[in-house]
Amino acid sequence: MQNKRTFLPYMAAIITSSIFGLSFLFSKMALNLIDPFTLLSYRFLLAFIVMNILVISRIDKLGNFLAYNFKNKPLKEIFLLALMQPIAYFTFETYGIKYSSSSQAGLMIALIPIAVTLLGAYKLKEKVPLLQWIFILISVGGVVLIVIMNSSSSSSFNALGTILLLGAVMSAAIFCIISRKLSKYFSAFFLTYFMMGTGALFFSLMSLVIHIKDGSMSVYILLLKNTSFLYSIIYLGILSSIVAFFLNNYTLSKIEASKSSVFANISTIVSILAGVLILKENFKYYHFIGSFLIIFGVWGTNSTKSS
């Protein structure tokens, strides 16, 4: 029974990171056609529609969605959760990448496990032993090695991009802390449903304003005829939003934030494999070394007992 309680959250974390790792490929495909807010609008609209189908189908019984008693529940923190993720995180990340290089973005996003561990120790009183810190830094170091070696020919740096990406890091870290706290009161299904609904509303309003201002509403509608765009949206809206965020919220309800967040670095390995297998990119020696450090760090972090 103990093995089952630990195995399922860890598997959920690995699947989540794998889905997020492939999402960069599908996002890149869609962003060749549209602006970021339109992409996010379609992504979260589809996610929210599917979530409502699940509710109507009563599949939500898995999370007792319709049986909540909201009395004496931290409702304000649910809104803060949705504000951090998806609204703040995706806004900061999208424009951070726009005003910086992809290598700079990769380095900044790799800081999320460290930020989560620090906030977890402060807000959740999670005790992080020195050995666990070492393993976290080893995993982050694997990401840093890959990013630096990939960008060895570029030395671009943008202050605005760095600030925006730092906002993404802090948004993700605060989200992890709030989600773990709220897991005592709400199911992973409910938290995911609320996040998808908030994301759909915010990003659709932003996209609507942009298209009305530019007089390009027809472009928004005609996107539905593009097969490549539809494939991207189905992946991003269902797998990368509903499934990934549900599993992420589930993982955070079962294991410490510091142990859960370090799994995010596995998405770097998945991105590399996607590039090699799908885009026929080269697999370099530093990819192997970096991937080993990431996996070793993730294993060490989660095998170290909290003091």
List C-alpha distances in Å: 175 to 87, 146, 159. 11, 26, 24
* Alpha carbons 305 and 131: distance in angstroms, whole number: 9
DSSP label at 306? P
Identify the burial level of 243 via C-beta atoms within 10 angstroms of its C-beta, where 0-12 means exposed, 13-18 middle and 19 or more buried.
middle
3-state helix, strand, coil in the chain (%, to 5): 80, 0, 20
Identify the burial level of 77 via C-beta atoms within 10 angstroms of its C-beta, where 0-12 means exposed, 13-18 middle and 19 or more buried.
middle
Most confident of 23-32, 108-117, 119-128, 237-246: 237-246
Residue type, 206: M
Q: Which residue has the higher pLDDT, 63 or 141?
A: 141
Whether 139 contacts 294, CB under 8 Å = yes
> Quick one: tokens of 31?
């962003």
pLDDT digits (tens, 9 = 90+) for 236-295: 999 999 999 999 989 988 888 888 888 888 887 887 787 778 767 778 888 889 889 988
The pLDDT of 107-122, averaged and rounded, is 80
pLDDT at 26: 84
What value, to the nearest 5°, has the Cα angle with vertex 120 and ends 119 and 121? Answer: 90
Most confident of 63-77, 91-105, 131-145: 131-145
Nearest to 112 by CA among 128, 131, 89: 89
Query: Which residues, 6 or more positions from 159, have their beta carbon under 8 angstroms from its beta carbon?
Result: none
Strands (E), 110-150: none
